[in-house]
Amino acid sequence: MTETNKKRITLTGLREALPLYSFIRPYRLQYGLGLFFLLGSSLANLAFPKLLGELVNAGNAGNLAENINRIALFLGALLVIQSTFSYFRTVLFVTVTEKTLADLRQYTYNHLIKLPLRFFEQRRVGELNSRISSDISLLQETLTSTLAEFIRQVIIIVGGIGLLLYTSFKLTLFMLAILPAVVVLAVVFGRFIRRFSQKAQAEVAESNTIVEETLQGIQSVKSYTNEFLEIGRYKHKTEAIAQVGMKSGRYRGAFAAFLIFGLFGALVTVIWRGSILLAEGEMAAGDLFSFVLYSGFIGGTIGGMASVFTRIQKFLGATEDLFAIFEEEEEQLHDLSENTSIHPLKGAIRFDKVSFAYPNRPDVDVLNTIDLTIQPNQMVALVGASGAGKSTITALLLRLHDVQKGTILFDEIPNREIPLSELRSQIALVPQDIFLFGGSIRENIAYGNPKATEEKIKQAAQNANAMEFIEPFAEGMDTIVGERGTQLSGGQRQRIAIARALLKNPKILILDEATSALDSKSEQLVQDALKRLMYNRTTIVIAHRLSTIKKADMIFVLENGQLVESGTHEQLMLDKKGVYQKLSQLQKMDNE
């Protein structure tokens, strides 16, 4: 974060953080009660020095014991009131905070999961995870204690100064003459503290990213023997955090040292001046006692403002990062489980002069004026060298990205006119790199249709040839697959993915290199399952191995983002100088 973008404690900065309090609105009654108890507790706190001064004056004047006892009873009652108010204030604030943060976490997650794919392509998982965990935890501290502490300190400073003026106007003016210097220096030091606090926050987020990525890619880390490389990266980052923290600590230490020197010096000076007024008969001993206590209260509060100041800076930084995510536009999704009527697709697809470039590379066309037509229930194949644009076409079909030029039509209806959730609910993708969630086999298959019965889940597994390896497991369908499905082989993961797609029962099926990384036995089982999956569906197959697509109804050949050839396998093989023919010859040479 650059210096110009840093949040400062200004009316504008606080106003930008106000949307956070829309999450508190449903609990405003409890929050208001909490503020009432906070106000009562703070005012009771202010009354103590005054009553203690009166107690000293009563004893100094030789008043009757009953008067002294009466003041002591008032002090006892005040202690009970303050304790009670503090208890209810704490309980109410914690209750509101926990409910508010639960709503905020849900809103943040719900918003994140509805954002388009391009948002995630430009962010790192560790950074986003830090936003949900670290930043919201920081808001928890602010809403629970920092805000209450800030209000309490304002009440004590304002109320204390008012009572000081009432106790001794002359001594108050004398004390206030030395206060501005402390405040000015507090602002100067606060700027340094804010800068290093924000820098430390950013460094921590980056260190979280390293942990997140290395643990997610632990197989790659180990296979490339890069454990010590990652240890070094994390060590470098944590040492950088420590250096920033230590530098920030030096500034905070200097600030605390100044406040101690300034405040105790001011206290000594005030007592010296008060003693003169006491000797001159312009002030009673109890009033001086109250004045010194109020001065200590105010001084300690001003000293505590440094800590509150730093926490508010962190709070503003955290809300800025969160609200930056909230400003990202969501995809237009709707919940299909709410008995929504879905217009069924027939399976016809047409690309009409489609051109596309990825948002992070707007000047590089990945697809250039693509025209192609796919009939319902056809099996078509997309072939071409890596980077030709095959996977981009599948991403556009799912509207993971939107085209910049041209139109994609389903049953002659432009894809933008079909509700996004309805469109995606009728398309299934079986990729080469299968992602499984860390739960059970049953949960992973049921992800294709969470409402499916146990019988349908098992039928889908049977049709995907998955029961062949599921049944021997001791826990059967309840077997835990592990993080990303690492407890299963590649062929087993593929068959679970096929079962998931079968359970979804899509009209359009996309197979992206679904069998390229399998051994012969696994490939035969997967191919057999794929035949069942492709029946009576429009199927788009991306394949490098041309032997797997010889029976395709139509083959589209892509090169450098352009459609250069189309036809059946036999038709394309007739062109001895064609791209398809060259790809076929290269694969024959590779297999020899």
In degrees and rounded to multiples of 5, residue 566 shows phi and psi of -155, 150
pLDDT score of 408 more than 90: yes
First to last CA, the chain: 56
Residues 193 and 49 both lie in one domain: yes
Sorted by sequence, the CB contacts under 8 Å of residue 257 that are 6+ apart come out as: none
Q: What is the pLDDT of residue 303?
A: 61
Are residues 260 and 379 part of one domain?
Answer: no
Other C-beta atoms within 10 Å of 289: how many? 19
Query: Is 314 in the same domain as 390?
Result: no
As a whole number of angstroms, the distance between CA 574 and CA 587 comes to 17
Total number of domains in the chain = 2
- Domain check: are 303 and 393 in the same one? no
d(CA 266, CA 249): 25
The answer to whether position 43 is within a domain reads yes
Pairing of strands 538-542, 508-512: parallel
Residues 311 and 391 in one domain: no
Q: Residue 57's pLDDT band (boundaries 50, 70, 90)?
A: low
Residue 116, in any domain of the structure = yes
Confidence of residue 521 (pLDDT cuts 50, 70, 90): low
CATH at 301: 1.20.1560.10
DSSP string, 280-308: TTSS-HHHHHHHHHHHHHHHHHHHHHHHH
Q: How far apart are CA 72 and CA 67, in angstroms?
A: 9
Q: Is residue 284 in a domain?
A: yes
Q: Is 257 in the same domain as 394?
A: no
Residue 46 has pLDDT above 80, yes or no: no
What is the distance between the alpha carbons of residues 440 and 476, in angstroms, rounded to a whole number? 9
Per-residue confidence (pLDDT) for residue 407, from 0 to 100: 94
Mean pLDDT of 55-70: 67
What does the pLDDT look like over 2-34, one tens digit per residue?
Answer: 333 344 444 444 454 556 667 778 888 988 898
Q: State yes or no: pLDDT of 47 exceeds 70.
A: yes
Radius of gyration of the chain (CA): 35
Q: In this structure, are 227 and 312 located in the same domain?
A: yes
Average pLDDT over residues 257-262: 72
In the prediction, which pLDDT does 13 show?
Answer: 46
Are 422 and 297 found together in one domain? no
Indicate whether 340 belongs to any domain: no
Query: Cβ contacts of residue 578 below 8 Å, gap of 6+?
Result: 557, 565, 572
Does the pLDDT at position 410 exceed 90? yes
As a whole number of angstroms, the distance between CA 499 and CA 457 comes to: 8
Give tens-digit pLDDT for 471-501.
888 888 998 887 767 788 888 888 888 888 8
CATH number of residue 501's parent domain:
3.40.50.300
Give the pLDDT score at 97. Answer: 82
Q: Are residues 152 and 282 in the same domain?
A: yes
Based on the fold, state whether residues 539 and 433 are members of the same structural domain. yes
Which residues, other chains included, contact 143 with Cβ-Cβ below 8 Å and sequence gap of 6+?
A: 24, 93, 96, 97, 100, 101
Q: Are residues 234 and 362 in the same domain?
A: no
pLDDT at residue 198 greater than cutoff 70:
no
Is residue 186 one of the residues assigned to a domain? yes
Average pLDDT over residues 522-536: 76
What mean pLDDT comes out for the span 206-233? 77
CB 297 within 8 A of CB 160: yes
**Do 448 and 544 fall into the same domain?**
yes
Tens of pLDDT, residue by residue over 497-515, are 888 888 888 899 988 876 6
Q: Considering the domain boundaries, does residue 332 fall inside one?
A: no
| Span 207-221, average pLDDT | 75
**DSSP summary character for residue 345:** -
Mean pLDDT on 59-69: 65
Query: Measured over all CA atoms, what is the biggest interatomic distance in the chain, rounded to whole angstroms?
Result: 121
Looking at mean pLDDT, say which of 105-114, 254-263, 282-291, 398-407 comes out highest.
Answer: 398-407
**Residue 145 has what pLDDT?**
66
pTM: 0.68
Residue 353 pLDDT? 93
Let me know if residue 344 belongs to a domain: no
Please name the residue ranges forming H helices in 408-534: 420-425, 441-446, 454-463, 467-470, 490-504, 520-534
User: 555 falls in which pLDDT band (50, 70, 90)?
Assistant: very high
Q: Indicate the pairing of strand 538-542 with strand 379-383.
A: parallel
* pLDDT surpassing 80 at residue 402: yes
What is the average per-residue pLDDT within 95-114?
85
Using alpha carbons only, give the angle 148, 40, 42 rounded to the nearest 5 degrees. 55
The parent domain of residue 558 ranges over 349-591
The model's confidence at residue 554, banded by pLDDT at 50, 70 and 90, is very high
469 pLDDT higher than 50: yes
**CA 543 and chain centroid, separation:** 36
Structure confidence at residue 150 as a pLDDT band (50, 70, 90) = confident
Q: Within a domain: residue 338?
A: no
- Judged against a pLDDT cut of 60, whether residue 518 lies above it is answered with no
Residue 351 backbone dihedrals phi, psi, to 5 degrees: -100, 120
Express each pLDDT in 309-357 by its tens digit. 767 766 776 677 777 788 888 888 877 765 555 778 899 999 999 999 9
Q: Which of 326, 359, 384 is the last residue of a domain?
A: 326
User: Which pLDDT band holds residue 192 (cuts at 50, 70, 90)?
Assistant: low
Helix 285-326 / helix 179-216 crossing angle, nearest 10 deg = 40
